[in-house]
Amino acid sequence: MIHMIYTGGTIGMVQRGDGALEPAGIDDMLKYAPELSLMAEWDYCQLDPPRDSVDLGPEDWLLLARHIEKIYDRYDGFVILHGTDTMVYTAAALSFLLEGLRKPVILTGAQLPIGAIRNDARNNLITAMELAVSGHPQVAEVGVYFNDRLLRGNRAVKTSIFAFDAFDSPNFPPLARVGVSIHYPAIPPLPPRPDRLIVHQALTPQVALIKLFPGLTYRLLASHLDAPIQGLVIETFGSGNIPATPGLIDILERAIHERGLLAVAITQQLQGRVHLGAYAAGRRLQKAGVVSGGDMTPYTALVKLMFLLGRDDLSLEERRQLLARNLRGELTPPSEITPESPLTFSPGPRDPAT
Ligand code: ASP
């Protein structure tokens, strides 16, 4: 038995009499995919009213997690219909909130509405359902299904606003590829998880994300740090570098040591990981107490901060350790980086510290 949750987004729009596309109720929308009933026993509910995903946030992620918690034992899997704009944030949040998940939670959406004559909505919806009922162990986690690929939810990024192939997972292979049949590539196992579902009940949204750029001033960083934030994601250059602009590192270091700011460095490049020890410019961050976020996406790093800050059972030092650790498959742990891996840091022939 599968439970479908409709939150809104382009997927659920249908054509009215005058040809205009409008958000529909889930009943209206599902008339366009009658074959779902041939595939599985399933039922559904919807967010009232369905919303554009840019209007979903931490409160809604908690609502979804609690809803799944309440009905978890009655279903074999869950399909969440969601707008594409913030789908990866919701997916990352659910991956952290639903600890010990052993059933599929598959988010999907579309670039063209189900009520349009030519669309990707029907295919995404029907295949997400097929994956949810497959019973395959590789789908028993939070995934994003789009255009013939099931991606790990906390590894996915939206890469296009017009292509049907709108999502990618640059640092992790897909969980499943869908063609004439469904292929499940070999992937590293998820970190150990508890046997039963534990649903975490809090997120702390007092976090910020700053992308470094040439010319970033001390004053701009200071204005970010003046805000009452408890966590900061720093999108660094390359493998974790920050310019030597006077004051930048000092102000970060003060925020970390004097008021316990939880700061994590990731790379602004789509592929690869930060390695703070590699260049002098990265060592500055390490010395200041910034945690290495490995190859986490910016979306996942931000949500992970909210999750760890929301856990009042953890000390600051435990939060720092967990931030760098692979909790739900969201980052590649050093033990899984092989010399052949294209994601391995390789400084090349020049002295990296100069
Ligand atoms: N703005 C829409 C949303 O994210 C776009 C979409 O659904 O694709 O809800």
| Per-residue model confidence as pLDDT tens digits over 131-184 | 999 999 999 999 999 999 999 999 999 999 999 999 999 999 999 999 999 999
CA–centroid distance, residue 175 to ligand 1 (Å): 23
pLDDT for 303-318, tens place per residue? 999 999 999 999 999 9
Given the residues 7, 10, 236, 267, select the one marked as catalytic. 10
Output the six-digit token pair for 234: 């720093």
Residue 46 lies in a domain: yes
Q: Quick one: which of 301, 217, 316 has its CA closest to 266?
A: 301
Ligand 1 atom at minimum distance from 10 CA: 7
Residue 349 lies in a domain: no
Are 45 and 132 in the same domain?
Answer: yes
Are 145 and 221 in the same domain?
Answer: no
pLDDT for 232-283, tens place per residue? 999 999 999 999 998 999 999 999 999 999 999 999 999 999 998 877 778 8
**Residue type (1 letter), 309:** L
Decide if pLDDT at 13 tops 50. Answer: yes
> Does the Cβ of 84 fall within 6 Å of ligand 1?
yes
Look up the CATH number of the domain holding residue 40: 3.40.50.1170
CA–centroid distance, residue 283 to ligand 1 (Å): 39
Are 69 and 138 in the same domain?
Answer: yes
> Does the Cβ of 85 fall within 6 Å of ligand 1?
yes
Percent of the chain with pLDDT over 70: 95
Which of 179, 199, 219 is the last residue in one of the domains? 199
Any bridge partners for residue 79, and if so which? Answer: 4, 106
Residue 78 lies in a domain: yes
User: Any residues with CB less than 8 A from the CB of 197 and at least 6 apart, and which?
Assistant: 69, 72, 98, 99, 100, 101, 102
Are 149 and 253 in the same domain?
Answer: no
Are 124 and 174 in the same domain?
Answer: yes
Look up the CATH number of the domain holding residue 283: 3.40.50.40
Range of the domain at 226: 207-323
Are 195 and 211 in the same domain?
Answer: no
Are 72 and 174 in the same domain?
Answer: yes
CA–centroid distance, residue 150 to ligand 1 (Å): 19
Q: How many domains does the chain have?
A: 2
Helices (H), the chain: 26-30, 36-39, 58-71, 87-97, 121-133, 218-226, 248-259, 280-288, 298-310, 316-324
Are 26 and 93 in the same domain?
Answer: yes
> Does the Cβ of 51 fall within 6 Å of ligand 1?
no
Residue 141 lies in a domain: yes
Are 13 and 127 in the same domain?
Answer: yes
Output the six-digit token pair for 179: 């063609």
Is 10 an active-site residue?
A: yes
Residue 341 lies in a domain: no
Ligand 1 atom at minimum distance from 52 CA: 9
pLDDT for 100-142, tens place per residue? 999 999 999 999 999 888 999 999 999 999 999 999 999 999 9
